[in-house]
Amino acid sequence: KELVIATQNKGKIAEFKQILEKKGLIVKSLLDYPDIPDIIEDGTTFSENATKKAETLAKYLNSSVIADDSGLVIDAIDGRPGVYSARYAGETKSDSANIEKVLRELVDVPSEDRTGRFVCVIAVARPNEQTLIFEGSCEGTIATEPRGSNGFGYDPIFYIPELEKTMAQLTSEEKNVRSHRANALKNLFANQADWS
């Protein structure tokens, strides 16, 4: 069975593949449909953006599609970067520029106040049926400097106290059993085993 994910993010695609191929699913993404015009993410919530991405592609393909809208929510800066995580430091979507901007904003914030979480909202859009929403999160703190080279995005500054490692110091197997994305997928499969 094939599952189409409305994303161009290579980090997300690799993680969805690792989790879903184990379940026997074949994962496709927007990279397999290069002719589809860019989907503008102008929503103010993860849920709105995930819904827009999934419904746009579902309509185009006339089949069921899922989408992931996700980001890093940091308590000390009112939940930023949040839905603006991908473009926090500008349109180029540079992971290192985004990380530098966050670290600059947190420079005076003491370690006990550097709490935050990764949030992932997965929308399941199906032709002629209501879109379903599943959410997952993963708690951590924001490190004072980047460490590790696995994963993508803000992983090098997302510290998991229980493991004494950043997300970027975890193997993909370790990340994919505890991440916000893994947790959102767990909710999806727990509530909607036969989602199509």
Please say if 95 is a catalytic residue.
no
Nearest to 47 by CA among 69, 30, 64, 27: 69
Q: Does 55 engage in binding with ligand ITT (CB under 6 A)?
A: no
**Minimal distance, residue 95 CB to ligand ITT, in Å:** 6
Percent helix / strand / coil, the chain, rounded to 5:
40, 25, 35
Residues 6+ apart with CB under 8 A from 96: none
**Residues 113, 70, 133, 50: is their CA dihedral positive or negative?**
positive
Nearer to ligand ITT, 38 or 112 (CB): 38
Q: Quick one: which of 3, 4, 7, 66 contacts ligand ITT (CB under 6 A)?
A: 7
In sequence order, the 6+-apart residues with CB closer than 8 A to the CB of 127 are 58, 59, 62, 63, 64
Binders of ligand ITT in range 108-137 (CB under 6 A): 118
Considering the complex, what minimum distance in angstroms separates the CB of residue 62 from ligand ITT?
Answer: 21
Q: What is the x/- site pattern for ligand ITT, positions 77-106, by CB under 6 A?
A: --------xx-----------x--------
Is 169 near ligand ITT (CB under 6 A)?
Answer: no
- Catalytic option among 69, 95, 108, 113: 69
Instruction: Give the C-alpha separation, 27 to 152, whole Å.
Output: 19
Which residue lies nearer to ligand ITT by CB, 64 or 138? 138
Alpha helices in 67-179 (DSSP H): 95-105, 172-178
Active site residues: 69
> Which residue positions form the known binding site for Mg(2+)?
69
